[in-house]
Amino acid sequence: MIELERLPDVVYVGRPVNGQEETTVGVFKVMDGGFAQRVPVTFGRASVMTIEIVKGLEPGDEVVMSDSPPMKNLRG
């Protein structure tokens, strides 16, 4: 195994599709009561599978990590 860098005490999540380093995006955080609310989250460094949370989430927070299709494209 080759280790390029070690980042101690980092809050991170699985890297979402729109997860780019050094950006702020809206992420759905699961709130008390089970509903999800969009909150701004600032990302830091990223790997292929994970991305660092610089601001907006705390350890233990739950987020929705799935993408949904745009509603305007759905036909019923």
pLDDT 10s digits, 9-44: 899 999 887 789 999 999 999 999 999 999 999 999
Three-state secondary structure readout of the chain:
CCCCCCCCCCCEEECCCCCCCCCEEEEEEECCCCCEEEEEEEEEEECCCEEEEEECCCCCCCECCCCCCCHHHCCC
- Checking if the pLDDT of 55 tops 90, the result is yes
| Structural domain boundaries in the chain | 14-65
Euclidean distance between CA atoms 61 and 58, whole angstroms: 6
- Checking if the pLDDT of 67 tops 70, the result is no
Euclidean distance between CA atoms 25 and 2, whole angstroms: 31
What is the structure's pLDDT at 13?
92
